[in-house]
Amino acid sequence: MNLIVGMGGIQVSNDPKVTIVTYALGSCIGLTVYDPVSRVGGLLHYMLPESSTNPEKAQSNPFMFADTGIPLLFQEVYHLGGDKRRMQVKAAGGAQLLDDSGYFNIGKRNCIALRKILGANNVLIQAENVGGQVNRTVRLEMGSGRVWVKSSGDGEREL
């Protein structure tokens, strides 16, 4: 069964039959976490780096922003029995337009926010497929913890 994560959304699961998937990540980032022992995990699709852009929106939908969404992703997976020390963390997305000006670099800033937040919490990113000009689809298989990324104009590859 597929659990679909929309823009600015999240899904967590402990059901080995489930695959969590998010489509069409442009400059947004799809972040997966998975505990291979308790076999629980989740996927967050955040759109923007900082909740300070719109604190009101961050109240109603914290998953839209890296700084409010990422901690909640971990917490929700802990609630299902995930352990921080075992957590496998993978990320995809953060694409950019062909831009030399820096006016349109939300993708890049989404990547920077990711490293900053995870770094501050001593969490390593195990694998990532970020940047470039491609749209990406990400799938997390709850049975195996395998993460698959499909880039636009390309096949699907394991991350």
Partner 1 sequence: MNIVEAVLQSVTQLPPFPAVIQRVLQLVEDPKTSARDVVEVIQYDQSVTANVLMVCNSAYFGLRRPVHSLGEALVRIGFNNLVEIILTRGTSFLFFQACQGYQLQNGELWRHSVACALLSQILADRLNQKKSPIQFTAALLHDVGKVVLTGFVRDHFEEIRRRVQEQNLSFLEAEKATLGIDHAELGGMIAESWKFPPDIVAGIRYHHTPFLAPEFQDLVSLAYLCDVVALMTGIGGGADGLSYHAYKEVMEQYALKEQDLEEVIIDLESRMKKVEGFLNVP
Cβ pair 67, 49 in contact under 8 A? yes
- Per CB under 8 A, the segment of 13-21, 35-43, 114-122, 150-158 that binds partner 1 is 150-158
Query: Whole-angstrom Cα distance, residue 134 to residue 99?
Result: 14
Minimal distance in Å, beta carbon 120 to partner 1? 22
For residue 22, what are the CA distances in angstroms to 2, 5, 50, 116, 138? 10, 5, 21, 23, 5
- Per CB under 8 A, the segment of 51-59, 80-88, 112-120, 139-147 that binds partner 1 is 51-59
Ranges within 128-147 binding partner 1 (CB under 8 A): 132-135
Catalytic residue among 10, 28, 48, 113: 28
28 binds partner 1 (CB under 8 A): yes
27 Cβ neighbours under 8 A, 6+ residues apart: 47, 93, 94, 95, 96, 106, 107, 110
Minimal distance in Å, beta carbon 75 to partner 1? 22
155 binds partner 1 (CB under 8 A): no
47 binds partner 1 (CB under 8 A): yes
121 Cβ neighbours under 8 A, 6+ residues apart: none
Minimal distance in Å, beta carbon 97 to partner 1? 4
User: Three-state DSSP class for 158?
Assistant: strand
111 tagged catalytic = no
Sequence letter at residue 61: N
**Footprint on this chain of partner 1 (rule: CB under 8 A):** 7-8, 24-28, 47-48, 53-54, 57, 61, 64, 95-107, 132-135, 151-153
Active-site residue set: 28
